[in-house]
Amino acid sequence: MREIIEIPIYDVKPSRVTVLKTQGITIDRELPRKIEALFNRAMELFIEFSHPKGIISEISIPEFESIYTGEGLNEKRTPLDDIFREAGNLAIFAVTLGDRLSQKIDELFKANELALGSMLDSVASDGVEKAADIVEYHFLKLLSKKGEINASTGILRYSPGYCGWHMSGQKKLFEFLHPEDIGITLLGSYLMKPLKSISGVIVSGEKEIHNFEDSYPFCSQCKTHSCRDRIRGLFRESGHNNKEVIA
């Protein structure tokens, strides 16, 4: 299975809390009116200029092993190295918000509309994560139709450039998936263009396979430790909504 997914823009809902947090704002009091107005305008521009699209392809464990190995630059031990070998199902994916949005952000900065440009950038960063959530959910539904999802199934995505999987892994991922078909190209530095794009592998298996300690050598350099929230979310009752899909 290889599929291009047109994602309706109104399904992509950037989180107000996350966007404001990126701007250094934690909402423990009423937001100043001018910042509220900036956020609202950035959301309007996001809807006007984004064109979210995804591409997904199922892949076997041996096929993914070759992609994961990439150019041989991964850390010696990584969480994903263990996780994907125990997966029930794997899919590689890429998702983008399109080039117009990046251009709009650039234009705003060039026109000295700095606050709006920065806010739109934060909205777009969370927006592309939400678009990736939709592709992940699409895979979940697909597996559900095949009867391969149950209450103990956990689905999470992993991307090159994180948790010891070297960015150069993008090269083989692109060779296999061809995200060029949705307008994403890969630069020599393995950076994707448009900038607001995400690629990686979606791993479906027993929830427990995703559970790892953040004690790898490279974890000490990580500034977010966002893996903790992702893993916790998987085990929370209200976490990954398998029940809705199974029902």
Partner 1 sequence: MDILNKIRESLQSGNDEKVRALTKEAIEERITPKEILDEGLIYGMDIIGKKYKAHEIFLPDVLLAATAMYAGMDLLRPMFIQEGIPIIGKVVIGTVQGDLHDIGKNLVGIMLKGAGFEVINLGNNVSPLKFIQTAKKENATVIGMSALLTTTMPVMKNVMDLLREEGLIGKIKIIIGGAPVSEEYAKEIGADAYGYDSVNAVETVKELIKNSKKFV
Q: Which residues bind to partner 1, rule: CB under 8 A?
A: 23-25, 32, 34-35, 38, 106, 109, 112-115, 117-119, 121, 161, 167-168, 187-191, 193, 195, 223
Task: Using the minimum distance from each CB to partner 1, give the nearer residue, 147 or 188.
Answer: 188
Name residue, tokens 């993914």.
Answer: 64
Question: What's the min distance (Å) between Cβ of 2 and partner 1?
Answer: 27
Across the beta sheet with 53-59, the strand order is 2-6, 53-59, 89-96, 197-206, 153-158
**Residue with smaller CB distance to partner 1, 121 or 126:** 121
For partner 1, the closer of residues 25 and 245 by Cβ is 25
- Give the nearer residue to partner 1 in terms of CB position, either 189 or 238: 189
Q: Could you give the CA distance from residue 33 to residue 25 in angstroms, rounded to a whole number?
A: 13
Beta bridge partners of 96: 53, 197
Look at the block and give the residue holding tokens 């004690």.
Answer: 215
Please report how the helices 169-177 and 61-69 are oriented relative to each other, as an axis angle in degrees rounded to 10.
140
Beta bridge partners of 153: 206
Q: Which is nearer to partner 1, 32 or 233 (CB)?
A: 32
- Could you tell me the smallest distance in angstroms from the CB atom of residue 177 to partner 1? 19
**Burial degree of 214 (CB within 10 A; 0-12, 13-18, 19+):** middle
Shortest distance (Å) from residue 67 CB to partner 1: 17
Q: Provide the minimum distance between the beta carbon of 208 and partner 1 in the complex, in angstroms, as a whole number.
A: 30
In the bound state with partner 1, the residue whose beta carbon lies nearer, of 139 and 165, is 165
In the complex, minimum distance from the CB of residue 114 to partner 1, in angstroms, rounded to a whole number: 4
Q: How far is the CB of 109 from partner 1 (least distance, A)?
A: 6
Give the span between the Cα atoms of 79 and 70, in whole angstroms. 16
Task: Tell me which residue has tokens 């650039």.
Answer: 106
